[in-house]
């Protein structure tokens, strides 16, 4: 069975600083990988996804992620954090075909942004 | 356009009571998912509908949990004989394109 580990429960950065949120997965085949963001009282919003091809994936809101098969990682990055980026971030690995895709989520990383 | 909506946004019930949680997916989305998110955890899959039928209900924790989607749009998650451990945020998501799930804001269920 697949699993996702987000080793950092909380990350604190200063506004304008760079950000990297870690995600490691366990899955026997080529994974489908996702990052979601959840703001308080809101549903999860998809930031980006990786299926195949270029291992550096661009997403919305200036985020990007890099798939590293050798490290079983899919870390989320942003060069300059804005105060509005403060939220909970979830990494997920998906299995199955597009019609029966069932994601497994990590426990999340809470991003705190200092002014 | 309108996103996924869930009602109620909050539900407080007493242990042993029955509750229903409703999800209105995005119009035209054929697939619908239910998840449960406990405090400090990521969403946990419960059940997935393709059209009117439950394509995968392997995540339902026990037979107190049941979900329906009779007309292939609105879905209701039903919990019988609620327990305090059922307290969580219940999320619904719908999708049309492969892998593109759109989540609702969730229903926060508190069992006292």
Mean pLDDT for chain B? 94
Tokens of B77: 């998650």
Per-residue b or e along B37-47, where b marks 16 or more CB atoms closer than 10 Å to that residue's CB: beeeebbbbbb
Summarised one tens digit per residue, pLDDT across range B39-53 is 989 999 999 999 999
Is residue A90 less than 8 Å (CB to CB) from chain B?
A: yes
Vertex A109 angle, CA A108 and A112, to 5°: 145
Question: Whole-angstrom Cα distance, residue A115 to residue B76?
Answer: 43
Q: How confident is the model at residue A97 (pLDDT cuts 50, 70, 90)?
A: low
pLDDT (mean) for B77-90: 98
Q: How confident is the model at residue A81 (pLDDT cuts 50, 70, 90)?
A: very high
Question: Whole-angstrom Cα distance, residue B77 to residue B27?
Answer: 19
Q: How confident is the model at residue B96 (pLDDT cuts 50, 70, 90)?
A: confident
Is residue A110 less than 8 Å (CB to CB) from chain B?
A: no
Nearest to B36 by CA among B74, B93, B95, B80: B93
Question: Whole-angstrom Cα distance, residue A103 to residue A92?
Answer: 6
Sheet of strand B19-24, all strands in order from the earlier edge strand to the far edge:
B5-7, B19-24, B75-79, B65-68
- Nearest residue in B to A9, CA atom: B40
Cβ atoms of residues B107 and B8 within 8 Å: yes
Question: Whole-angstrom Cα distance, residue A84 to residue B50?
Answer: 35
Q: Identify which of A9, A97, A102 has the shortest CB distance to residue B45.
A: A102
- Which of B30-39, B45-54, B90-99 shows the lowest per-residue confidence on average (mean pLDDT)? B90-99
Half-sphere exposure of B94 (CA within 13 A, CB side): 22
The number of angstroms, rounded, from the C-alpha of A110 to the middle of its chain's C-alpha atoms is 12
Q: Identify which of B31, B98, B103 has the shortest CB distance to residue A43.
A: B103
Q: Do A105 and B102 touch (CB under 8 A)?
A: no
pLDDT (mean) for B57-67: 96
Mean pLDDT for chain A? 91
Cβ atoms of residues A89 and A65 within 8 Å: no
Q: Do B99 and A43 touch (CB under 8 A)?
A: no
Minimal CA separation from B65 to chain A, in Å: 19
- Percent of chain A whose pLDDT exceeds 90: 75
Is residue A83 less than 8 Å (CB to CB) from chain B?
A: no
């Amino acid at each position: 069975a697949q699993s996702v580990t987000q080793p950092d429960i909380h990350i604190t950065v200063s506004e304008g600083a760079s950000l990297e949120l870690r995600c490691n997965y366990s899955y026997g085949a080529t994974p489908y990988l996702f990052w979601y963001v959840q703001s308080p009282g809101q549903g999860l919003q998809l930031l980006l996804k990786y299926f195949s091809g270029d291992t550096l994936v661009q997403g919305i809101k200036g985020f990007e992620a890099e798939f590293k098969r050798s490290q079983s990682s899919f870390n989320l990055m942003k060069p300059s954090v804005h105060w509005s980026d403060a939220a909970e971030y979830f990494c997920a690995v998906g299995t199955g075909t597009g019609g029966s895709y069932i994601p497994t989520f990590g426990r999340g990383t809470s991003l705190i942004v200092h002014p | 356009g309108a996103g996924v909506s869930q009602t109620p946004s909050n539900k407080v019930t007493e242990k042993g009571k029955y509750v229903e949680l409703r999800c209105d997916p995005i119009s035209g989305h054929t697939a619908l998912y239910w998840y449960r998110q406990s405090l400090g955890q990521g969403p946990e899959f419960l059940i997935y509908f393709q059209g009117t039928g439950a394509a995968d209900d392997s995540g339902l924790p026990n037979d107190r949990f049941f979900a329906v989607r009779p007309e292939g749009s609105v879905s209701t998650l039903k919990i019988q004989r609620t327990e305090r451990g059922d307290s969580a945020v219940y999320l619904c998501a719908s999708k049309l394109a492969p892998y593109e799930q759109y989540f609702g804001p969730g229903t926060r269920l508190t069992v006292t």
